[in-house]
Amino acid sequence: MTRAFIFPGQGSQTVGMGRELAEAYASAREVFDEVNDALGQNLTKLMWDGPQDDLTLTENAQPAIMAVSLAVVRTLEKEGGFDLASKAAFVAGHSLGEYSALAAAGAFTLSDAARLLKIRGQAMQRAVPVGAGAMAAVLGLEYEAAAEVAAEAAQGEVCAAANDNGGGQVVVSGAKAAVERAIEIAKTKGAKRSMLLPVSAPFHCALMQPAADEMAEALAAVVLKMPAVPLVANVTASRVADPASIRQLLVEQVTGMVRWRETVLYMEAQGVGSYVEVGAGKALSGMVKRIASDPEILSVGTPADVEAVLKTL
């Protein structure tokens, strides 16, 4: 069965993430040590001991989530002789998960991925003053209807669909007042529920342009190789392997919508029936179940998961 490896985004961070992997496998410990060294920060202490509020800060959460995903990949490789290029047709990631996917496929070094995500997190936080922007989940409306809600709510301010997660789950992002208007308008359009999300900035909308500019500069300074497995990009929901194109799409991704529903549908149309979610949590597995028709889904984030997946793959 054709398989894709998928990598989670922000929101899957929890205190204790990755600790069991590090205790069980030297290969996982090496990944965490390398990330700590690249950042000049004891990120693993924060990941394992908290506090949760500090771990949730964008500049910490992004490299931490990537580190857990790559610790899993490195462990699969070293413990089980796993080779991504022979096991997967595609990789894909949700927002920051694209960096994890690309590092797993060898396009970035682990150290460069960690540094880029630290810069990305800081840039996204700096782009908009705290409290000036917001994001809200709109549940029970499909993408087209939710996008219309955002457009109606904008009233001269920024408000746009930021994540199309499938199954009637769309996240809107923009100026705080506009997002609050979107929540009220969504009620009148038949949304089951709409709620503000506990995020520190309005990601994936035009307000993030200063962060996109910073990422263009940061990405230009790193080596980006052709990935061993094609990426299905958030911005286009189609395959890409050319390094120059990937670099440009990662810049556009900062302000662009995460087209996750279309990404999964694209992979399914290419024959993918099996999805392996790599890293912390199972958020993407839930999304895939809502989007794809009868998918086989594996999640791998703990030593027990590693052992199970090695027997399956």
- What CATH class is the domain 133-199? alpha beta
Beta bridge partners of 164: 170
d(CA 88, CA 2) in angstroms, rounded, equals 7
One of 69, 204, 274, 299 is an active-site residue; which one?
A: 204
The pLDDT, as a whole number, for residue 311 is 86
The percent of residues above 70 in pLDDT, for the chain, comes to 100
Residue 95 is among the residues annotated as catalytic for this protein: yes
- Angle formed by the axes of helices 58-80 and 26-39, to 10°? 150
Q: What is the mean pLDDT of the chain?
A: 96
CATH of 2-127+207-312, one of 1.10.3720.10, 3.40.366.10, 3.30.930.10, 3.40.718.10: 3.40.366.10
**pLDDT tens track for 79-124:** 989 999 999 999 999 999 999 999 999 999 999 999 999 999 999 9
Identity of the residue numbered 117: L
One of 12, 95, 194, 200 is an active-site residue; which one?
A: 95
**pLDDT tens track for 226-274:** 999 999 999 999 999 999 999 999 999 999 999 999 999 999 999 999 9
Three-state SS string across 132-169, please? CEEEEEEECCCHHHHHHHHHHHHCCCCEEEEEECCCCE
The pLDDT, as a whole number, for residue 200 is 82
Question: Does residue 66 register a pLDDT over 80?
Answer: yes
Question: Does residue 1 register a pLDDT over 80?
Answer: no
The percent of residues above 90 in pLDDT, for the chain, comes to 94
What is the Cα gyration radius of the chain?
18
In the structure, what pLDDT confidence band is assigned to residue 198 with cuts at 50, 70 and 90? confident
Query: pTM for the whole thing?
Result: 0.96
The pLDDT, as a whole number, for residue 213 is 98
- According to CATH, where is 3.40.366.10 located in the chain? 2-127+207-312
Pairing mode, strands 159-164 and 169-175: antiparallel
Q: Which two tokens stand for residue 228?
A: 């061993």
List Cα–Cα distances, 91 to 6, 33, 213, 260, 284, in angstroms. 6, 25, 26, 13, 13
- According to CATH, where is 3.30.70.250 located in the chain? 133-199
Q: What is the mean pLDDT of residues 275-301?
A: 96
